[in-house]
Amino acid sequence: MSFQTCAQKVRKIDLSFKNRRSAFRSCINSYCWLTKQEFQFIYTRYSNRFGFNSDIKNPGDRLNQAMDDLEEERNIFLGKLRLFGKKRIEEKSRGCRFPSKSAVEALYNNVD
């Protein structure tokens, strides 16, 4: 399923918390694939920050907050990807067929 489809499931209050959390994990998995980060690192960061794995009141609200934050983080990275793509078009027109290793590393190492 796509990131957006899973994000919609996360926000469906009529689904059980277990199903919503599973959809959130799918969103994280999609984000990790996009950013080349490890799933457990991202999941633990969000779990610690929003506490939806603990026994707290209204874990669904926390899950919605986490989803909002993840979407914002993803949109920022997508913006960086678009900018990288535009730069690559310019570089290709000047004859540089491959991106520099440092440019690719900068794109993926500055994710958070």
pLDDT tens sequence across 31-84 = 999 999 999 999 999 988 988 666 666 677 889 999 999 999 999 999 999 999
- Region class of 71: left (phi > 0), else alpha (psi between -120 and 50), else beta: alpha
Chain-centroid distance of CA 42 in Å reads: 8
C-alpha–C-alpha distance, residues 86 and 49, integer Å? 34
Among 69, 67, 1, 79, residue whose Cα is nearest residue 35: 79
Average pLDDT, the chain: 90
pLDDT, residue 51, reads 82
For the chain, percent of residues with pLDDT exceeding 70: 91
pLDDT, residue 109, reads 84
